[in-house]
Amino acid sequence: MTKKNSSGNFLGGLSESRKMEILGILIMAVGGLIGLSIISYDPADFTLIQSLSSDSLFMLDQGPALRIQNWLGVIGAYLAHFFVYLLFGYMSIIVPLIILGYGWFIFRDRDIAQMLWPTAYGIWSMVLLSSILGWFNIEYDWYSSVWNGSAGIAISRILQNITGIGSIIILSVLLLTTLLALLDRDLQQTVERFKEWIAGIKASFADWQERRQAKKEAKREKKKQKAKEKEIRRQRKAEKQASQKKSSSEPKTNSTPKEPEEDSKPKSIDEIVEQSQQQDRERIKREQEEVQSLDSRPRADIEKKKIAEDEEDDVDISVYVGEGDEQADEKELDKQNKDKAKEIPQVKYKFPTIDLLDSPPNEGNDVDLEEIKENKRIILDKLKRHNIEIRSINAIVGPTVTLYELDPAPDVKISKIESYANDLKMATAAKGLRIMAPIPGRSAVGIEVPNGSRETVFIKSVINTKKFVESDHELPLAFGKTIENEVFMVDLTKMPHLLIAGATGSGKTVGMNTIITCLLYKCHPDDLKFVMIDPKKIELSLFQKIEDHFLATLPGAEEPIITDTAAAQETLESLTKEMDERYDLLKDGMVRDIRSYNEKFDNGELDEEEGHRHLPYIVVLIDELADLMMTAGKQIEEPISRLAQLARAVGIHLVVATQRPSVNVITGTIKANFPGRIAYQVASKVDSRTILDTGGADQLIGRGDMLFTNGGGMTRIQNAFVSTEEVEKITDFIGKQRGYNKKYELPVLQDETSSSGDIPDPLEDIDELFEAAAKVIVLHQQGSVSLLQRKLKIGYNRAGRIVDQLFNAGIVGPYQGSTARDVLVEDEEELEQLLDDLDEFER
C-alpha cells in the first residue's frame, strides 16, 4: 500500500511538462532503436533466428545468437526483417524518422498537429519510392530487393497487372507531383530564408563598415582633440607661469577672506570641464536606468480595456489606452507666470497667456477595435507561417501608432521575428511599421503599427498639463506625447544639446517651434536669450518680433536672425568668447554652474562693479546646419564642437537641425558632442544610422512622428503641433510689449583679433600673406575677415591677425561689429605706394 502510494506520488509530483518530456524521450528512443535495426539489416539474420532455440539465447560466449549481424541482436533482426523485408525495404527508414519527429514535438511541448502533414507525406513517399524501386527490380533485377521490400514489389506487381507498362508512367507522374507538392509548400519559405540570409549579410557588412568608419573617425578626432588640449594646456601653463612671475614681483596688497575656501573650488576651466563631463557620465547612467525602469514598469496606471476572446484563435489580446497627464487649470500657468514676472522688476513683462493657443477639438483618442483585431489577425497569421507561436498580445494605442506587445512561446527565438519585418509590412500594408525584438529590458517583442487615423497632439494639451506647469526644469521642453499618451518632457540644460534630423516635410520646423514655444511659456526674457541662425531665411523669421526681449546678437548686427554664413560663423566664434568670459565669471564667483552663479549674484554676493552680471541661458538654434557646413565647413564645425563640449556649465545650449543627415554634415566631432538626438522621418536607413546610430527613423511616418534618444533608450513620440498662427499670436503678444532698453549683446571678437594691446606691430612678425591679403581687400574694397578666409583659404584666426596688421598699416579702418571694415586705400597704385613706404620704413 505504502509502495503504491509512493509511486503515485512520484509521478503525481512531476509537472505536466516534465511528464511530456519523459514521454518524448521514450518515443525518440523507440524511433532511434527501430532506425538502428533497419540500418544494420542483414538478410541472413532471419534464417539464423529461425533456427535458434530458446536455450541459445542464454549461452554466454558461443552459440548461433552471437552470429546475428544486426546491431540490436535478435529483436533488431526481427524488427529489420519486418520493416525491410516484409514492408518497404530500406525506404522503411522513414517510419523511425516519423517516430523521432513525434518524440521531439512531445519533448518540446509543441503542437503535435503540426506533425500530421509530414507524417502523411512521409508514409506516402515511402510507399511510392519502394513501389518504383520494386517496379525496376521486377523488370531489370538491377539491385537487391532489400531496397523496395516485399510490399514494394507486391504493389508494383499489382499495378503492372492492372495497367501494364502504364504502371511506371503512373508511378512517375505520382513522384513528380509529390516532389512539386513538397517544393511548392516549402518554396516560399526557402526563397524567404534565402532573402533574409542575403539581407542579413548585407546589413552586417554595412554595420561593420560603418563601425570601422566611425572608429577611424573617432580615433582621428581623439588625436586632434588631444593635440588641441595639449596645446591649450601648454598655453595656459605659459600664461600661468607668466602671471606667477608677475605677481611674485609685485608686492601682495590684500588677501580676500575667502581665500582658504578656494582650495575646494574649481580653479581652472579644465577642472570645470572635467567636472561637467563627469556629471554628464553620471547623468547618462542615471537616464539609462530610468529608461529601463520605464520599459518594465507595470501598466497599472494605464486605463485598461479588454476585448472579448477572439473566436478565430485562442491568443488573448488586451487593449490599453494611456490616460494621459492631468490637465492643469486653465489659468494656473498664467497665474504662475504673473508671479514670476513680478519677481523680476527690471523690466515689465507679461508672459504669453494660455488662451493664445488653440484648444484641441476633441479630448482623447478613439480606439478602433476592429482595426486592432484585424492587425492582430494579420500579425499572428504571418508569424504562424514562420512557426512562431505567440501566447498573448497587449495593444497600447498611442496618438500615431499602436504598439503590439507580443509574448512569444518559450522556444521562439525572438531575434528571428525582426527578420520578418518586410513580410509583416507587406501584410499590414503599413508604412512605418517598426519592430523591437525584444523590447529593451523585456522578453516581449514590440511591433508598432501606424493607426488608420492619427490624432493631432495640440501644443495646448501638452503645455497646459500639471506636468509642464509644475515642472521645475530650467529649460523645459515638452516635445509631445508618447505611445502611452504621456507628455514627454526633458530639461535642455541636462541634455545639454540637441541634434535634430529629418527629411523635408517631416516636421522639423514645427518641432523647432514647439521647442521655442515651450521655452517662451516658461522662461522670463531675463533668464533666456536665443541666438537664431537660419540660413534658409524663412523658418525662424516669425521670431523676429521677439527681438527686443529674447534675441541675443552681435553689436550692430543688421539682422536679429542670422541668415548669412559669414555672420553665423562670427556669431558662433563670439559665443565661444561669451563662453570663455562666463567661465571666468564662474571662476571668480567660485561656483561650478550658471544656476549657482545666478543665485549668488541675485543674493547680492557678487559685485556688479567687478563685472558680475545675471547670466541668462542662451539657446542657439541653427535651422539647417547643412547649408552652413557646405559653405564654411571646418570654420563652422569648430566653434560648434567647442561650444558643445564646454558650454553646458555656463548655460549655452545648442539645438541644431538638418534635413541632410549625412556624415559630412553631422561629422564625428559634432555627433560625439550631441548626446540628445531627435530623428523625424528620414529617407534611408543610412540616414537613420547617422543620426541615431541605428535604423528606425526611416520607418517613421512623418508629420511629427519622431524618435528621441539621449544616450539611453529610444522613445517614439508624436510631436506636439503648433501652428504658424499660434506662433504669430505669441510673438505678437511679446513683441508688442516694451522690451529692454539695451538688447543682449554678444562679445565682439576684437579682443582676439585686434585689441590695442595685442595688435602685432606691422613691422614685426608680418604675415607672409600680408601683401596678397592687402591686394584682395583693396580689389574688393571690403575689409572683411571672411573674404580673406575664402580667397586665401586660411583659417579665421590667421585672417583676423592679417586684418589687424592691415589696420596697423593703415589699409583698413577700425573694427565695426558685424559689418566689414572700411578700406582706406582706393586702388592698387596707392597700395603699391604704401607697401613701398612700409618696406623702406622696415629697412
Ligand X SMILES: Nc1ncnc2c1ncn2[C@@H]1O[C@H](COP(=O)(O)OP(=O)(O)OP(=O)(O)O)[C@@H](O)[C@H]1O
Q: Is 504 in the site for ligand X (CB under 6 A)?
A: yes
Tell me whether residue 502 or residue 639 sits nearer to ligand X (CB atom). 502
Q: Can you name the residues that pair with 481 across neighbouring β-strands? A: 487, 718
Tell me whether residue 704 or residue 800 sits nearer to ligand X (CB atom). 704
Q: Is 724 in the site for ligand X (CB under 6 A)?
A: no
Specify the residue for cell string 591677425: 801
Tell me whether residue 508 or residue 801 sits nearer to ligand X (CB atom). 508
Contact residue for ligand X among 495, 510, 579, 806 (CB under 6 A): 510
- CA nearest to 482, candidates 720, 721, 718: 718
Q: Is 506 in the site for ligand X (CB under 6 A)?
A: yes
User: Is 129 in a helix, a strand, or coil?
Assistant: helix
Instruction: Write out the DSSP string of 53-102.
Output: -TGGGG-SS-SGGGG--STTHHHHHHHHIIIIIIIIGGGGGHHHHHHHHH
What is the rounded CA–CA span in Å between residue 482 and residue 463? Answer: 15
Contact residue for ligand X among 89, 101, 408, 507 (CB under 6 A): 507
Q: Is 365 in the site for ligand X (CB under 6 A)?
A: no
User: Closest separation between CB of residue 680 and ligand X, Å?
Assistant: 6
Q: Is 721 in the site for ligand X (CB under 6 A)?
A: yes
User: Closest separation between CB of residue 661 and ligand X, Å?
Assistant: 12
C-beta separation of 818 from 556 below 8 A: yes
C-beta separation of 497 from 656 below 8 A: yes
Tell me whether residue 31 or residue 704 sits nearer to ligand X (CB atom). 704
User: Closest separation between CB of residue 504 and ligand X, Å?
Assistant: 3
Tell me whether residue 514 or residue 571 sits nearer to ligand X (CB atom). 514
User: Closest separation between CB of residue 457 and ligand X, Å?
Assistant: 7
Q: Is 535 in the site for ligand X (CB under 6 A)?
A: no
What is the rounded CA–CA span in Å between residue 548 and residue 780? Answer: 34
Q: Is 662 annotated as a binding residue?
A: no
Tell me whether residue 591 or residue 665 sits nearer to ligand X (CB atom). 665
User: Closest separation between CB of residue 458 and ligand X, Å?
Assistant: 9
Contact residue for ligand X among 96, 149, 696, 704 (CB under 6 A): 704
Tell me whether residue 29 or residue 538 sits nearer to ligand X (CB atom). 538
Q: Is 35 in the site for ligand X (CB under 6 A)?
A: no
Q: Is 164 annotated as a binding residue?
A: no
User: Is 819 in a helix, a strand, or coil?
Assistant: strand
Tell me whether residue 388 or residue 665 sits nearer to ligand X (CB atom). 665
Which positions from 608 through 667 interact with ligand X, judged by CB under 6 A? 659
The secondary element (H helix, E strand) that includes residue 3 is helix 2-13
Tell me whether residue 424 or residue 512 sits nearer to ligand X (CB atom). 512
Q: Can you name the residues that pair with 407 across neighbouring β-strands? A: 392
Which positions from 659 through 678 interact with ligand X, judged by CB under 6 A? 659
Stretch that binds ligand X, among 316-324, 340-348, 406-414, 497-505 (CB under 6 A): 497-505
Q: Is 505 annotated as a binding residue?
A: yes
Cβ-closest residue to ligand X? 704
What is the rounded CA–CA span in Å between residue 516 and residue 511? Answer: 9
Stretch that binds ligand X, among 75-83, 164-172, 208-216, 503-511 (CB under 6 A): 503-511
Cβ neighbors of 324 (< 8 A, separation 6 or more) are 364, 461, 481, 485, 486, 487
C-beta separation of 356 from 282 below 8 A: no
Query: Residue 169: how many CA atoms within 13 Å on its side-chain side?
Result: 5
Q: Is 399 in the site for ligand X (CB under 6 A)?
A: no
Tell me whether residue 721 or residue 807 sits nearer to ligand X (CB atom). 721
Cβ neighbors of 268 (< 8 A, separation 6 or more) are 236, 587
Stretch that binds ligand X, among 278-286, 408-416, 502-510, 596-604 (CB under 6 A): 502-510
User: Closest separation between CB of residue 514 and ligand X, Å?
Assistant: 7
Contact residue for ligand X among 465, 485, 509, 517 (CB under 6 A): 509
> Residue 219: is it exposed, middle or buried by C-beta count within 10 angstroms (0-12/13-18/19+)?
exposed
> Residue 216: is it exposed, middle or buried by C-beta count within 10 angstroms (0-12/13-18/19+)?
exposed
Report CA-CA distances (Å) from 138 to 86, 149, 174, 458, 728: 16, 12, 19, 84, 96
Q: Is 398 in the site for ligand X (CB under 6 A)?
A: no
Tell me whether residue 586 or residue 700 sits nearer to ligand X (CB atom). 700
Q: Is 508 in the site for ligand X (CB under 6 A)?
A: yes
What is the rounded CA–CA span in Å between residue 182 and residue 265? Answer: 78
And the C-alpha cell for 99? Answer: 517516430
Q: Is 719 in the site for ligand X (CB under 6 A)?
A: yes
Stretch that binds ligand X, among 110-118, 489-497, 506-514, 765-773 (CB under 6 A): 506-514
Please give the angle made by the CA atoms of 582, 586 and 591, to the nearest 5 degrees: 150
User: Is 182 in a helix, a strand, or coil?
Assistant: helix
Please give the angle made by the CA atoms of 306, 309 and 315, to the nearest 5 degrees: 100
User: Closest separation between CB of residue 494 and ligand X, Å?
Assistant: 23
Q: Is 51 annotated as a binding residue?
A: no
User: Closest separation between CB of residue 396 and ligand X, Å?
Assistant: 20
Specify the amino acid at residue 176. Answer: L
User: Closest separation between CB of residue 308 and ligand X, Å?
Assistant: 34
User: Is 448 in a helix, a strand, or coil?
Assistant: strand
Q: Is 497 in the site for ligand X (CB under 6 A)?
A: no
Q: Is 24 in the site for ligand X (CB under 6 A)?
A: no
Burial annotation 48-72 (CB, 10 A radius, 16+ → b, else e): bbeebeeebeeeeeeeebeebebeb
User: Closest separation between CB of residue 433 and ligand X, Å?
Assistant: 20
Tell me whether residue 501 or residue 567 sits nearer to ligand X (CB atom). 501
Q: Is 684 annotated as a binding residue?
A: no
Beta strands 528-533 and 617-623 are: parallel
Q: Is 507 annotated as a binding residue?
A: yes
Binding-site string for ligand X from residue 427 to residue 466, where x marks contact by CB under 6 A and - marks none: -----------------------------x----------
C-beta separation of 516 from 543 below 8 A: yes
User: Closest separation between CB of residue 204 and ligand X, Å?
Assistant: 32
What is the rounded CA–CA span in Å between residue 117 and residue 124? Answer: 11
User: Closest separation between CB of residue 343 and ligand X, Å?
Assistant: 33
Contact residue for ligand X among 200, 410, 452, 505 (CB under 6 A): 505
Q: Is 432 annotated as a binding residue?
A: no
Q: Is 502 in the site for ligand X (CB under 6 A)?
A: yes
What is the rounded CA–CA span in Å between residue 805 and residue 811? Answer: 9
Tell me whether residue 438 or residue 702 sits nearer to ligand X (CB atom). 702
Please give the angle made by the CA atoms of 807, 810 and 813, to the nearest 5 degrees: 55
Q: Is 833 in the site for ligand X (CB under 6 A)?
A: no
User: How far, in whole angstroms, is CA 470 from its chain's centroid?
Assistant: 30
Q: Is 703 in the site for ligand X (CB under 6 A)?
A: yes
Annotated binding site: 502-509
Binding residues for ATP: 502-509
What residues line the site for ligand X (CB under 6 A)?
456, 502, 504-510, 659, 703-704, 719, 721
